[in-house]
């Protein structure tokens, strides 16, 4: 761009330069013609043949000069300039022929003087006109050039601004992508960040790729943490399950012992009853073990249309024994007609089991566990509130309770339960928050987006 303008400026200044030269020539012509007019004046003063001859001689010389200069000047002149130049030659030719004729015939026609003067005047006026035109031309060209330069500078400035804006918005755009990715990482939605590997073209894209790679690694690690968290809550569940298994086991043992000792005295119907009872107890064990196995299994996230009420029911059944042992009364209030959610049921169960275990552990003297469900049509969220009447959480602990490895239970806790729960809920595009009053109890609020129809 600047190169083109440079060439343009060079050419137009070259043009101005040659025009100036042509002005110089025309100026010379003009002066020469004025000299000739001086001779003309002399003639009019003395009216002798010598003066006329002198005039004719000067005229011839001028004609010669103008003719020679023509090849030089004409290409530079514009159309009207060229016309005027030719006219100059024509008039001079006629002027000379008039003068020469007078010399030859030695006879001066009556109107000779007047004619000569008029033609002389024409000559000067045309040559002056030519000069004036050319001067104007030059100044116009210079003006045009200046205007052109200013305009092109403006244009360059505007183009630069537009380009700058464009690149700036490109950078902003990529930074926005980066910001969104970092936000997703912070929300634990690694899967979305780690989807498309890109071929980096610039520094920002290298950074984006690094974030994407990091998300992929974090996603893998998150699976491990998720499982570790599950195993941690499983450890707590196991103690309850052991007790829960103890009862049916004991029942079977007692039935079998009695059966063996009184076998001889039993009738067929009684024997059948004994076996029926034993079978029922093994069924009880099977269900407990099945629940536990189902909970502990490591699965890839599987989103399915689920009923939140059912998830709550299953989760409560997993901790039923704990509730019983800790004398915690459960109060579930979830309306029947809640919209479904698209979730991995086993993961949400893991969250709820975590929260229930925490609630139970916060109520060593027993208490109430409220589970309330509702639907907020404005945000299209299902809201699950889990409230206990336990010891509460110390105010300065509250901001940290979702941090990994943060625990208030010293060696008894892993600090994984709530951080894993937080990760799971964020992965489901939901939100989990906590409110607590020491000595009053704790309230967890889970928001999960309702399934779009």
Partner 1 sequence: MDQTQEENMSPDKLRIMVLDDEPIVCKRLKPALEKLGYEVDTFTQSPEAMHQIQQTSYDIIITDLKMKEIDGMQFLTEAKKRHPGTEVIVITGFATMETAKQSFQKGVFDFIAKPFKLSEIQEVVNRAAAKIRGPAA
User: Rg of the chain over CA atoms, in angstroms?
Assistant: 54
Restricting to residues 259-298, name those near partner 1 by CB under 8 A. Answer: 261, 277, 281
Note whether 330 binds partner 1 by CB under 8 A.
Answer: no
The burial of 221, by beta-carbon neighbours within 10 Å (0-12 exposed, 13-18 middle, 19 or more buried), is given as exposed
- Closer of 255 and 446 to partner 1 (Cβ): 255
Q: Determine if 246 is a binding residue for partner 1 (CB under 8 A).
A: yes
Q: Is residue 258 a contact point for partner 1 (CB under 8 A)?
A: yes
* 3-state SS class at 368: strand
Question: Can residue 253 be called a binding residue for partner 1 (CB under 8 A)?
Answer: yes
Residues with Cβ within 8 Å of 447's Cβ and at least 6 positions away in sequence, in order, are: 376, 379, 381, 382, 383, 384, 430, 431, 432
With CB under 8 A as the contact rule, the residue among 5, 245, 266, 303 that binds partner 1 is 245
Using CB under 8 A as the binding rule, whether residue 327 contacts partner 1 is answered as yes
- Between 119 and 245, name the residue whose CB sits nearer to partner 1: 245
The interface region with partner 1, picked from 69-77, 139-147, 255-263, 435-443 by CB under 8 A, is 255-263
- The window from 80-88, 98-106, 136-144, 240-248 that contacts partner 1 (CB under 8 A) reads 240-248
Taking CB under 8 A as the criterion, the residue among 144, 202, 250, 440 binding partner 1 is: 250
The set of residues, in sequence order, having a beta carbon less than 8 Å from that of 367 and lying 6+ positions away, is 328, 329, 388, 389, 390, 441
Nearest alpha carbon to residue 383 among 325, 333, 313:
333
CA 105 to chain centre: 96
Q: Tell me the per-residue interface mask from 297 to 326 with partner 1, x by CB under 8 A, - otherwise.
A: ---------------------------xx-
Q: Is 361 in the site for partner 1 (CB under 8 A)?
A: no
Q: Which stretch binds partner 1 (CB under 8 A): 63-71, 238-246, 387-395, 425-433?
A: 238-246
Q: Report the alpha-carbon distance of residue 200 to residue 218 in Å, rounded.
A: 21
Instruction: Select 324 or 395, whichever has its Cβ closest to partner 1.
Output: 324
Give the span between the Cα atoms of 323 and 363, in whole angstroms. 10
Instruction: Single out the residue of 101, 118, 107, 111 nearest to residue 37, CA to CA.
Output: 118
Residue 152: phi and psi, rounded to 5, are -70, -35
Q: How is residue 273 written in tokens?
A: 């009853």
Contact call for residue 56 and partner 1 (CB under 8 A):
no
Q: How far is the CB of 414 from partner 1 (least distance, A)?
A: 20
Number of other CB atoms surrounding residue 189 within 10 Å? 19
Closer residue to partner 1 in complex, CB, 88/318: 318
Q: Give SS3 for 333.
A: strand
Q: How many residues bind partner 1 (CB under 8 A)?
A: 22
Member of 100, 133, 227, 247 binding partner 1 (CB under 8 A): 247
SS3 (DSSP) at 332: strand
Please tell me the distance from the alpha carbon of residue 236 to that of residue 323, in angstroms, as a whole number.
13
Q: How far is the CB of 301 from partner 1 (least distance, A)?
A: 35
For position 363 contacting partner 1 by CB under 8 A, the verdict is no
SS3 label, residue 448: strand
For partner 1, the binding residues (CB under 8 A) are: 239, 242-247, 249-255, 257-258, 261, 277, 281, 324-325, 327
């Amino acid at each position: 761009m600047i190169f083109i303008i440079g060439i343009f400026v060079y050419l137009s200044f070259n043009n101005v330069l040659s025009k100036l030269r042509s002005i110089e020539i025309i100026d010379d012509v003009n002066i020469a013609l004025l000299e000739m007019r001086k001779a003309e004046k002399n003639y009019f003063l003395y009216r002798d043949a010598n003066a006329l001859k002198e005039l004719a001689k000067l005229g011839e010389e001028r004609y010669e000069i103008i003719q020679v200069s023509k090849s030089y000047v004409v290409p530079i002149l514009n159309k009207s300039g060229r016309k005027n130049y030719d006219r100059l030659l024509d008039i001079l030719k006629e002027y000379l022929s008039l003068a020469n004729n007078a010399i030859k015939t030695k006879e001066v026609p009556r109107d000779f003087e007047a004619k000569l003067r008029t033609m002389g005047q024409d000559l000067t006026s045309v040559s002056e006109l030519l000069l004036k035109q050319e001067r104007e031309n030059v100044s116009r060209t210079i003006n045009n050039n200046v205007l052109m330069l200013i305009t092109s500078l403006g244009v360059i400035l505007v183009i630069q601004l537009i380009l700058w804006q464009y690149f700036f918005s490109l950078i902003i755009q990529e930074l926005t992508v980066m910001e969104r990715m970092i936000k997703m990482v912070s929300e634990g939605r690694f899967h979305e960040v780690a989807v498309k590997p890109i071929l980096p073209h610039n520094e920002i894209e290298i950074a984006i790729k690094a974030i994407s790679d990091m998300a992929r690694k974090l996603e893998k690690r998150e699976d491990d943490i998720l499982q570790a968290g599950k195993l941690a809550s499983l450890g707590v569940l196991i103690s309850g399950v052991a007790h829960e298994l103890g009862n049916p086991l004991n029942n079977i043992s007692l039935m079998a012992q009695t059966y063996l000792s009184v076998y001889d005295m039993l009738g067929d119907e009684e024997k059948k009853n004994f076996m029926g009872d034993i079978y029922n107890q093994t069924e009880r064990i099977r269900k407990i073990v099945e629940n536990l196995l189902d909970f502990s299994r490591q699965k890839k996230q599987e989103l399915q249309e689920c009923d939140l009420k059912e998830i709550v029911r299953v989760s409560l059944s997993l901790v039923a024994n704990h509730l019983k042992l800790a004398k915690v009364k459960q109060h579930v209030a979830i309306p029947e007609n809640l919209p479904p959610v698209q979730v991995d049921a086993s993961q949400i169960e893991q969250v709820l089991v975590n929260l229930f275990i925490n609630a139970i552990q916060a109520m060593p003297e027993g208490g109430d566990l409220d589970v309330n469900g509702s639907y907020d049509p404005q945000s299209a969220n299902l809201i699950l509130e889990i409230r206990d009447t336990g010891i509460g959480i110390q105010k300065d602990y509250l901001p940290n309770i979702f941090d990994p490895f943060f625990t208030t239970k010293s060696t008894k806790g892993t600090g994984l339960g709530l951080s894993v729960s937080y990760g799971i809920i964020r992965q489901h595009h939901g939100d989990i928050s906590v409110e607590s009053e020491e000595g009053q109890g704790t309230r967890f609020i889970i928001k999960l987006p309702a399934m779009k129809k």
